[in-house]
Amino acid sequence: MTLRAFAMSRAATGLVLALACVPAGGCGARRFSRHAALAMPAPAAAARAQAADAARDPRDPWWPYRDAEAHVAADSLASAEADLRRALALDPTYAPALALLSKLEFDSGRSADAMTLLEPVRRQPDAYAPAARTRLLAGLALHADAVGDTARAHEALANVLDAGGRQDASVPVYLALRGDAPETAAPLAREAVRHDGHSAVNQNNLGITLLRAGDVEGARKAFAEAIARDPALPGPYYNLAILEKWYRFDDEAAARAFAEYAKRSQDDPDGLRAVFAAPAAHPDAGARP
């Protein structure tokens, strides 16, 4: 997989993580991952947490959802899944739990399970608040694409767009770049950035479309913007390494970009690690992409 598809798989990860941020008194996994100290609260905080737990309503799905967030922060994913399923047993339409469980299933390659989980959103849309519904349908589109069910992916996406799901503008870009007519992604990517230029995923996807169109400097700027918006997102570094290596022929800059990528992810679909370790051993290295 080259730039044509890899960066989009990175973008997908960002999108599905965003789906976990359906409002529920906080933004889920992102919030906890940035506040790891919550796993071991100070005594005063622990006392407050115990007091809050004493007031638990066993019928409220927010409580097991909150436990799931904490387990995700501690990388106890099996426990997090169990908590999320408890939340959904209390309320099958509880959108934050649906979104976070969908993300965990995506991360573990269980998109078929996630499609079953999210199918009720398509069948009974009125059971969900509009913003949550569009987020969950966007997730369904991504999962359907992941298992190769293009028709179902586009059906779910059409439902998102019909519902005015502009906050999910990066989803059609992703699907367009992975589809049979990737050139259709360019106007969608520009619209996504116009709507939300602060999104690292949107900037990353714009960079891909610009590079396809031969605008190397524009693509370079977009990847740099993506990195500035979210330095933890791996894909833009990988894309930048490809751009620097095979479009600008700057081996040092390419190696630096890949080194930053390698700090964030071990995926390497284009074999860049071997290229930068021993460039002479790869006779076609200069011919990419």
Most confident of 44-58, 156-170, 261-275: 261-275
Tens of pLDDT, residues 254-266: 999 999 999 999 9
Q: What is the pLDDT of residue 166?
A: 56
pTM of the model: 0.67
pLDDT, position 182: 79
- Dihedral of the CA atoms 197, 33, 9, 1 (nearest 10)? 120
CA nearest neighbour of 140 among 160, 159, 165, 115: 115
Domain 19-168 has CATH 1.25.40.10: yes
Which one-letter amino acid corresponds to residue 205? Answer: N
Would the pLDDT of 236 be above 60? Answer: yes
* pLDDT tens-place string over residues 109-166: 999 999 999 999 989 989 999 888 888 998 999 999 999 998 888 888 887 766 655 5
Residue 90's CB is within 10 A of a number of other CB atoms, namely 17
* Whole-number average pLDDT of the chain: 79
